[in-house]
Structure 1
Amino acid sequence: MNLPKKMLLACGIVLVCACVHAGSLPPIKPVEHVDLPRFMGDWYVIATIPTRFEKNAYNAVETYKAQPDGNIYTAFRFNNGSYEGPVKAIHSTAFVKAGSGNAVWGVQVFWPVKAQYIVAYLKEDYSQTIVARDARDYTWVMARTPTISQADYDALMVRVVQLGYSLQDVRKVPQQRPDAQHPEM
């Protein structure tokens, strides 16, 4: 067998193994209960396995606002490409899944698709959280402050791995100038 065919075969085996592994992971267990009024407000994105929209995000902040109908208005904003890059914003609506203790949401950026959003970790004082997905394709590690201690960061990364994610895909989000992070929603 020549080298290109061997490489193609090896890549195929790795891909199949990765798919089997991803499919064999159990669903992510959400936290037992989220007090929605306490969860509302600004969350600074400390680290993420990013979506294609946020691969070059700086100063990323996710803001939640409860709506009268029980849904949650979300605004994700960041500087694109650098601290001084253009401000980008993504607005969506979150729908809390009944019976989930408010810990599982469907987030709709584009109708009719609702992306899974699981509050997989929430520090008791509501200062840090990890949002995850069963697919293990994206995750967001967030805090109420733009930076956290290295010890807290390391502990959160351990939790991310325990959820079934690979740290090789995690990007630490640069945060600077918190006073400049609040453009109009």
Structure 2
Amino acid sequence: MKIWMVLAIVVASLSLYACRSSNPIQRADNVNIDAFMGDWYVIGHIPTFIEKDAYNPLETYQRGQENKVNTTFSFNKDSFAGERKTYRPTGFIQPESNAYWKMQFLWPFKSEFIISYVDDAYEHTIIGRSKRDYLWIMARQPHISEDQYQQLVERAVKLGYSREDIIKTPQQSLEIQKTK
């Protein structure tokens, strides 16, 4: 009987240890979902494997049914003239916070997507994950000042990201993008 009790405690302990998560990342307060919708240019990031060598990355959000967000992520692969890649994941706003979403690229898998910061004018945002493995610094325009960019990078560092891992993304001006 004792062996079963010890075994049960060990199994329960290992299960709890395996299920632990990283320190949760800070969430933005009171995100207005309607104000958040629209185009966001990726200015800097810690890229996923599909975003490596992305040029002109753009994330577009549109309200879907209930707590769903229809997302379009597009970019040019390898250069400004490269093939335009487009992905359409679905965001699921979680009940506990408008800043906490689950993003689904492939059914049935969903990954954490947290709005960690958005300014009052909804012009700049930082999206992160508790694992600190991916990051997106985004703006409503394809270019921001170097000072503004460094301020956003500093915010990301305070969230627990490594400054050295954050890559500035290549973005062309809107005028050049519109002529293509």
Does the TM-score normalized on the shorter chain lie above 0.5? Answer: yes
Q: Which runs of 4+ in 1 moved over 2 A?
A: 23-26, 177-182
Name which of structure 1's ranges 65-74 and 36-45 shifts more when overlaid on structure 2: 65-74
Shift of the alpha carbon at 1:169? 1.3
Distance 1:60 1:162, change over 3 A: same
- Residue in structure 2 matching 1:61, options 58, 66, 71: 58
Shift of the alpha carbon at 1:68? 2.8
Aligned residues: 159
TM-score normalised by structure 2 residue count: 0.84
Give the alignment's Cα RMSD to 1 decimal: 1.6
Show CA shifts across 1:23-57 (max 9, x none).
99631120111111110000000000000000110
TM-score normalised by structure 1 residue count: 0.82
Q: Is the 8 A contact 1:133 1:139 kept in 2?
A: yes
Measured in 1, the distance between the counterparts of 2:113 and 2:69 equals 12
Measured in 2, the distance between the counterparts of 1:31 and 1:103 equals 6
Name which of structure 1's ranges 165-174 and 42-51 shifts more when overlaid on structure 2: 165-174
Which entry has the higher C-alpha Rg, 1 or 2?
2
Distance 1:180 1:67, change over 3 A: farther
Measured in 2, the distance between the counterparts of 1:25 and 1:47 equals 23
SS at match of 2:30: coil
Shift of the alpha carbon at 1:64? 0.2
Measured in 2, the distance between the counterparts of 1:25 and 1:167 equals 19
Show CA shifts across 1:123-155 (max 9, x none).
110000000000000000000000000110110
- Residue in structure 2 matching 1:87, options 84, 87, 110: 84
SS at match of 1:114: strand
Q: Which runs of 5+ in 2 are unaligned?
A: 1-19
- Residue in structure 1 matching 2:125, options 119, 124, 129: 129
- Residue in structure 1 matching 2:142, options 138, 143, 146: 146
Residue identity (%): 44
Specify the code of the residue in structure 2 equivalent to 1:133.
Answer: R
Report the counterpart of residue 43 of structure 1 in structure 2. 40
Q: Which runs of 5+ in 1 are unaligned?
A: 1-22
Specify the code of the residue in structure 2 equivalent to 1:176.
Answer: Q
Show CA shifts across 1:63-112 (max 9, x none).
00001333100000000000000000111100000021x10000000011
Shift of the alpha carbon at 1:179? 4.8
Measured in 2, the distance between the counterparts of 1:80 and 1:148 equals 22
SS at match of 1:130: strand
Distance 1:25 1:95, change over 3 A: closer
Report the counterpart of residue 163 of structure 1 in structure 2. 159
- Residue in structure 1 matching 2:108, options 107, 112, 126: 112
Aligned 1:94-109 pairs, distance under 5 A: 94-100=91-97, 102-109=98-105
